[in-house]
C-alpha cells in the first residue's frame, strides 16, 4: 500500500496552507489580448500524459507552457517533447515561485484527489487561475476552501468536467431544457469500469482518493443524472455492494443511488470498479434519449426514441474544455463548469455515503439555492 505523504496529510487536514498571497493580476484580458493563455499541468500522470498534454497541442486559446512534477526524470522528458523552457518547470516544493512567472496564467491540478485542495489553494495564492480535476476534493469543506481561496485572490476556478464542452452532452442538455420530448420522468446513469490489476493504486487508497468508485466514476453518473433531468436532486437513497473485498480493502466497489427531483422525476445511478458500463438514459412523457457511451473520451454515441442518431465531428473533449475556460478568462464568456458545481457534487457524494452508513436512509438535499445545474 502506498504511504500517504506528509504534504498530503497536512493538506487533507488543513495545514500547510499559510503561504504567501500575491496580488491577482489586474486587467488580465488586456495583458493577454490576442495571446494564448499559458497552462501549467500539476501532476504528470496518465491523464496529463495521454489526454491533457496532447489536447493542449490542439487548443486555440491556451497552450502547454509549464509543468509541475514530483518526479525529476519527467522534467527532461516533458521539456524535450513539448519544448518547455527550464524556467517554467517546477516541483511540489518550489511550486509557489510560479507566482512571479508571467508565462503561466492557469494552473491545472491533475493529482490524486486528496492533493487537489492544497495545490489549487497554492495556485490561487500565486495569483493563477485554476482548473481542478474531478472530483473537486475529498470533502465539501475542501471545496469551500478552494472556492474561497480563488475568490480572495480574484482568480477564476473551474473543475475538469470535460463533458460540458462536448456536443453530444450539450445536445442532451438542449433536449431536456427545451422539453423536446416533454417533461422528464426518469433518468438512469451508469459510470463504471473494471479495476483488476493494481490493488496498491492511489484510487483504492482512501487517504488519497477520498473514496472508491463513487469518487472516481460516480461523479460522472451524478453529473449525467443532473444534466439528464436539468434539475438538482432533492433527496438521495443509496446502497453499497461488495464482491471482492480482498481487492477493494479500503474503498467502495459498487454503489447504487436513487434520486428524487423537484418535478417528481426519479433517477437511478450505478457506479462501480467491478464492471464496465458507461450510459445515460432519460425517459420523458413523449420519448427518450440515450447516450452510450456517455462519459468516455469520445466520440460518444447517442440516439432518440424517434429514430435520430446523434452525430458530431470528433474533437478532443479536453481541448474543448480548456478552450472554454480560457475563453471565459479572455472574453468573459460564461464559466460553464464553476467551482460551485464541483462542490454541489461533493455535497451529493457526502449524502450518498451518509445514506449507506445509515442503512439506506433517505437523505434530503437542499441544493436549489446554489443556482448550479
**Which residues form the interface with ligand NAD (CB under 6 A)?**
2, 5, 8, 43-48, 70-71, 110-113, 133-134, 160, 162, 202, 208
Residue 91 beta carbon to ligand NAD: minimum distance, rounded to whole angstroms = 11
Told to judge if 186 belongs to the known catalytic residues of this protein, a careful annotator would answer no
CB-wise, 32 or 116, nearer to ligand NAD?
Answer: 116
**309: which 3 cell numbers?**
442518431
Told to judge if 220 belongs to the known catalytic residues of this protein, a careful annotator would answer yes
Q: Which of 92, 220, 227, 353 is catalytic?
A: 220
Residue 12 beta carbon to ligand NAD: minimum distance, rounded to whole angstroms = 11
- Count of other CB atoms within 10 angstroms of residue 240: 19
| Start-end of H helices in the chain | 6-12, 28-31, 46-47, 53-55, 72-82, 116-125, 140-153, 167-177, 206-209, 213, 219-227, 317-331, 339-357
Sign of CA dihedral 104, 43, 149, 342: positive
CB-wise, 71 or 242, nearer to ligand NAD?
Answer: 71
Residue with the CB atom nearest ligand NAD in the bound state: 45
Residue 358 beta carbon to ligand NAD: minimum distance, rounded to whole angstroms = 27
Sheet-wide strand order for 184-192: 309-310, 302-304, 287-291, 277-284, 184-192, 266-272, 254-260, 235-241, 363-364
CB-wise, 7 or 25, nearer to ligand NAD?
Answer: 7
Residue 310 beta carbon to ligand NAD: minimum distance, rounded to whole angstroms = 20
In three-state secondary structure terms, 67 is strand
Residues 7, 139: Cα–Cα separation, whole Å: 17
CB-wise, 48 or 258, nearer to ligand NAD?
Answer: 48
Q: Is 182 left (phi over 0), alpha (psi -120 to 50) or beta?
A: left
Residue 61 beta carbon to ligand NAD: minimum distance, rounded to whole angstroms = 19
CB-wise, 184 or 348, nearer to ligand NAD?
Answer: 348
Q: Which of 32, 125, 128, 134 is catalytic?
A: 134
Residues that are catalytic = 134, 220
Amino acid at each position: 500500500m502506498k504511504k500517504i505523504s506528509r504534504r498530503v496529510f497536512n493538506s487533507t487536514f488543513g495545514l500547510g496552507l499559510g503561504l504567501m498571497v500575491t496580488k491577482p493580476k489586474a486587467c488580465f484580458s488586456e495583458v493577454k489580448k490576442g495571446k494564448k493563455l499559458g497552462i501549467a499541468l500539476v501532476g504528470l500522470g496518465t491523464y496529463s500524459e495521454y489526454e491533457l498534454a496532447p489536447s493542449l497541442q490542439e487548443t486555440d486559446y491556451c497552450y502547454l507552457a509549464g509543468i509541475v512534477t514530483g518526479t525529476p526524470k519527467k522534467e527532461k522528458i516533458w521539456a524535450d517533447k513539448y519544448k518547455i523552457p527550464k524556467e517554467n518547470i517546477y516541483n511540489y516544493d518550489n511550486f509557489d515561485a510560479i507566482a512571479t512567472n508571467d508565462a503561466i496564467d492557469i494552473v491545472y491540478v491533475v493529482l490524486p484527489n486528496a492533493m487537489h485542495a492544497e495545490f489549487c489553494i497554492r495556485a490561487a495564492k500565486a495569483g493563477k487561475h485554476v482548473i481542478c480535476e474531478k472530483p473537486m476534493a475529498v470533502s465539501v469543506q475542501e471545496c469551500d476552501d478552494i472556492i474561497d481561496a480563488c475568490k480572495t485572490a480574484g482568480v477564476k476556478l473551474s473543475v475538469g468536467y470535460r463533458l460540458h464542452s462536448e456536443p453530444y452532452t450539450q445536445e442532451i442538455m438542449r433536449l431536456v431544457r427545451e422539453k423536446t420530448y416533454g417533461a422528464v420522468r426518469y433518468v438512469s446513469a451508469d459510470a463504471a469500469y473494471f479495476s483488476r490489476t493494481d490493488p496498491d493504486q492511489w484510487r483504492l487508497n482512501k487517504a488519497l482518493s477520498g473514496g472508491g468508485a463513487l469518487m472516481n466514476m460516480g461523479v460522472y453518473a451524478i453529473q449525467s443524472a443532473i444534466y439528464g433531468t436539468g434539475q438538482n436532486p432533492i433527496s438521495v437513497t443509496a446502497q453499497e455492494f461488495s464482491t471482492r473485498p480482498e481487492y477493494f480493502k479500503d474503498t467502495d466497489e459498487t454503489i447504487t443511488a436513487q434520486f428524487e427531483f423537484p418535478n417528481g422525476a426519479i433517477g437511478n445511478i450505478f457506479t462501480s470498479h467491478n464492471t464496465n458500463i458507461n450510459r445515460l438514459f432519460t425517459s420523458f412523457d413523449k420519448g427518450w434519449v440515450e447516450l452510450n457511451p456517455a462519459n468516455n473520451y469520445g466520440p460518444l454515441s447517442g440516439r432518440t426514441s424517434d429514430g435520430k442518431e446523434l452525430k458530431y465531428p470528433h474533437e478532443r473533449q479536453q481541448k474543448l474544455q480548456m478552450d472554454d475556460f480560457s475563453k471565459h478568462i479572455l472574453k468573459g464568456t460564461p464559466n460553464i463548469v464553476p467551482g460551485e458545481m464541483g462542490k454541489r457534487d461533493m455535497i451529493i457524494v457526502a449524502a450518498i455515503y451518509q445514506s449507506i452508513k445509515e442503512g439506506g436512509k433517505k437523505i434530503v438535499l437542499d441544493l436549489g439555492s446554489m443556482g448550479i445545474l
